[in-house]
Amino acid sequence: QFPLVESGGGLVQAGESLTLSCVHSGFTVEEDSIGWFRQAPGKEREAIACIGTITGIMYFSDSVKGRFTVSADGQRDTVYLQMDGLLPEDTALYYCAGRKGRGCTSYNILYGSWGQGTQVTVSS
């Protein structure tokens, strides 16, 4: 059983949008951090963005700045990743991860809980 559950992935065409959701049981963005990461085949896991205590919202990847937006709904224990203007190079398995009691960081090893991921595929 995973304490974080992602959803919302799918197959879209370049230029279209998707919104990913992460239900983060046992975490709050007021006291913890929820990060978004992605991993494409043959590549290392990449930090995209995060929302959490102390640091607020941070974007780690220059390639998504201006196109991706992180937000949170505390009542639903859900963090969203709104992805606009999707490009084929955005194709990857997208994960959310939780970091207990700490602010955002791009270092994936500092997140103790992970979801199973949701696949995003962007066709050209």
Could you read off the pLDDT of 99-122 as tens digits, one per residue? 999 999 999 999 999 999 999 999
How far is Cα 64 from Cα 84, in angstroms, rounded to an integer?
A: 9
pLDDT exceeding 70 applies to what percent of the chain? 98
CA dihedral 59, 52, 114, 14 (to 10 degrees): -30
- What token pair was written down for 117? 């991921």
Could you read off the pLDDT of 34-58 as tens digits, one per residue? 999 999 999 999 999 999 999 999 9
Could you read off the pLDDT of 57-90 as tens digits, one per residue? 999 999 999 999 999 999 999 999 999 999 999 9
* pLDDT-derived band at 33, boundaries 50, 70, 90: very high
